[in-house]
Amino acid sequence: MTQADDRLEHLQRLARLDLAPEEAAEVAADLVTLLDYLARLQAADVEGEDEWRPPLAPAAAMRADVLAPSLPTALALALAPAAKDGFFEVPRTLEDA
């Protein structure tokens, strides 16, 4: 078993995945490619380079939370595929407990 296979088996346990053998081989190959790329990134000489900063400061990316008029309920319900008693009607996704 290769190191990539060991890592893939470990990741499958952590993520509780059950991959078919052909899927596991494909994912293992992708994992090797990814880990090789990450190793190349770690080996890059960045001495003297400025630390990366996002182009917009995080505070500038956020807008103020301002109260504004919303879509009228009747119009929103008119746009819905199904409505019942003033609410959106959606298919049941959970069984009764």
Mean pLDDT of the chain: 87
Q: Given this model, what pLDDT does residue 97 score? A: 58
Q: Given this model, what pLDDT does residue 61 score? A: 65
Q: Give the pTM.
A: 0.47
What backbone phi and psi angles, to 5 degrees, belong to 53? Answer: -125, 145
How many separate helices (H) and strands (E) can be counted in the chain?
Answer: 4, 2
Q: Given this model, what pLDDT does residue 78 score? A: 94
pLDDT at 1 over 70: no
CA 21 to chain centre: 25
**For the segment 35-56, what is each residue's pLDDT rounded down to a tens digit?**
899 999 999 999 999 998 878 7
